[in-house]
Amino acid sequence: MRDDQCHSGRHPQRDHHLPGRRGRPGLDDDPPLTVNQAASTTALTITPSTASCGQSVTLCAQVTTTPPGTCAPTGTVTFTIAGGPTLTGTLNASGQACVTTSAIPVGTHAVTATYGGSTGVAARPAPGPSRSTRASPPRP
């Protein structure tokens, strides 16, 4: 199911064949139906796992909906690199967002990917493992 078909919140139940207590077809007296956002999981991958100073690193987040939800996640993922840049990627039709950067300073950095959520799918952070960027040795 596409996210634009999933709308969380309270929705009145309407049975147009049975009148409500006020004589109107099922609009005023029927109990509401509550539809919650689907839960999600976010997995982070970092390639390469160890890089040299100035080398490009690709961060990818895979967002999936947790059953029983079936809405497709849409929107963005924010990648936060401790001591480095914060980047934003847009989810594709497969629920994956990737960004590439070479602006990570030398050192070991905690990296997280946080899915911002959408109409039908709840937001979810994915803590990532620490990765290191090492300076290349000077050339003689």
Q: What is the pLDDT of residues 122-138, one digit of tens each?
A: 988 765 554 544 444 44
Quick check: is 138 in a domain? no
Quick check: is 31 in a domain? no
Q: How confident is the model at residue 17 (pLDDT cuts 50, 70, 90)?
A: low
Quick check: is 18 in a domain? no
CATH of the domain at 104: 2.60.40.1930
How far does Cα 133 stand from its chain's mean position? 26
Q: What is the pLDDT of residues 55-97, one digit of tens each?
A: 999 999 999 999 998 999 999 999 999 999 999 999 999 999 9
Residue 89's beta-bridge partner residues? 77
Quick check: is 20 in a domain? no
Going by C-alpha positions, the residue among 112, 27, 39 that lies closest to residue 77 is: 112
The contacts of residue 11 (CB under 8 Å, 6+ apart) are 32, 33, 34, 35
Query: What per-residue confidence (pLDDT) applies to 12?
Result: 54
Count of structural domains within the chain: 1
Q: Which domain holds residue 95?
A: 38-133
pTM for this one?
Answer: 0.72
Quick check: is 27 in a domain? no
Quick check: is 14 in a domain? no
Query: What per-residue confidence (pLDDT) applies to 135?
Result: 43
Quick check: is 139 in a domain? no
